[in-house]
Amino acid sequence: MRTPLHGAFDPNVMQICRDPRSQQKVDLSSAHFIYKVADGSPAQKLGLLPGDCLLAFNGQPILTSLTDALLALQDGSHFGVRYLFYQAQSDAFLEVETDCMPLGLDLLPNSDTIIEAYAAQGYYGNEGFHALWEREDYVGLREAISAAYRKPTALSFMQRLVRASHSLPALEVFCAICDFEMHEDREGLGALLSKVRVREFAPDMQALLYFYIARQAQDERDIALYQEYILAAYKFRPLSERIKRGAMAAGCDITEPQSMLSRSLPLHYEFTYLCGGAGDINMSTLIAAIPPQKITLLCFMPMCRGSNAYNEALKVFHAIYAYHKDSLHQMLVITNKDKQRKDPSSWYEQEEKLIAAGYPISVLLDPAGNFIKDLSLRNAPTLWAVDKTGRIVWDKGLMSDYDYWEMLKG
């Protein structure tokens, strides 16, 4: 029996119902599993826990990310959302009617959902492939690659993305990895690694290539070379648990960078506006303009103007800003590159949308790139937040609405 839960905790939440599972079958084939729940978020107040599942969004499975689904509704001026969760510990369904406010969940799509997404829309980035690789689900990875191959327009985009002179090297790499892991085809992987130029790939693919070059060195009992390349893989993809385990097993020093939390941001930088303003401005002026009780988000793009990860980070800002504009002042994107070169236009899709819609975002150029050395930046994007005093109040990234809720909790 569906039981309404009265006394909604948030004005954005209209109705909450809990329905014991009884004899109903739970279909998890397209579910997104809850990995983490942000403290103080609507999701936590709803009683959602890690291990619970998001089954449906407005009656349909989610084939992309939850952020993409929310943005599609926001852009269409449709603000009603119905979530259907399955709560494993209580063996019950939870139905929530709300607006498009992100709930503060860190979700992991299952393998079938990733494969369905590639089948439905073709190539949408390498993250789905990497997720399957992290799980060592090579059967699923093969299916996802096959689905991407069936989308000619998406493949053309992939070729432009990696700026390759030969056909689809990213898919070739993933195919060779599958053959190596499933059939121990060392010759095929070795031949591919010998002919590719690692530095021509995006950082996520460089990490993968260095990982397998390290594996070759390990097989040949060249410990020094193994340590060198597994550490290189970790530096390009430090969030990969699989690469991290390899680096730790090799005895590499992978000490996390020293936290910047509570430090004062250097104020000596001079910038030129690339987007969202005109002329020159300095960091001191930008910090002084922050209203009391608000924070400014900093998105550092060292050594590049944009990336797929940059676009994904701006999607999250786009989805959550309206619900936290009393706390968020603006986003400042700081780069040392003034041109997009031949970057794919999709990397700037959200930047252009945000600026066109009047969101408080500016792109600033520091041609000398002094901020990179001063702040020991390695990753693009690197996302922090500062308050009116110039103090860094968040340095753990803002790549999901989970991160925003965790940041604003304090």
- The pLDDT averaged over each successive group of 10 residues in the chain (410 residues) is 43 66 70 92 93 92 86 75 90 89 91 85 80 92 88 52 51 90 86 84 87 93 94 85 90 77 92 96 97 96 88 95 95 93 86 96 95 87 96 94 92
Tell me, what's the pLDDT at 191? 87
Domains defined for the chain, CATH in brackets = 3-109 (2.30.42.10), 112-249 (1.25.40), 270-409 (3.40.30.10)
For tokens 């944009």, name the residue.
306
Q: Measured between alpha carbons, how far is 91 from 86 in angstroms, rounded to an integer?
A: 7
Tell me, what's the pLDDT at 372? 92
Q: Measured between alpha carbons, how far is 81 from 69 in angstroms, rounded to an integer?
A: 10
CB atoms within 10 A of CB 342: 8
Residue 396 CB burial class (10 angstroms; 0-12, 13-18, ≥19): middle
User: From residue 300, how far is each of 38, 188, 266 by CA, in Å?
Assistant: 24, 39, 14
Q: Measured between alpha carbons, how far is 233 from 217 in angstroms, rounded to an integer?
A: 13
Best CA proximity match to 16, nearest among 82, 73, 100, 104: 82
Q: Measured between alpha carbons, how far is 289 from 292 in angstroms, rounded to an integer?
A: 9
Q: Is 90 helix (H, G, I), strand (E, B) or coil?
A: coil
- Give the DSSP per-residue string, 363-403: EEE-TT-HHHHHTT--SSSEEEEE-TTSBEEE-S--SSHHH
92: tokens are: 């019950």
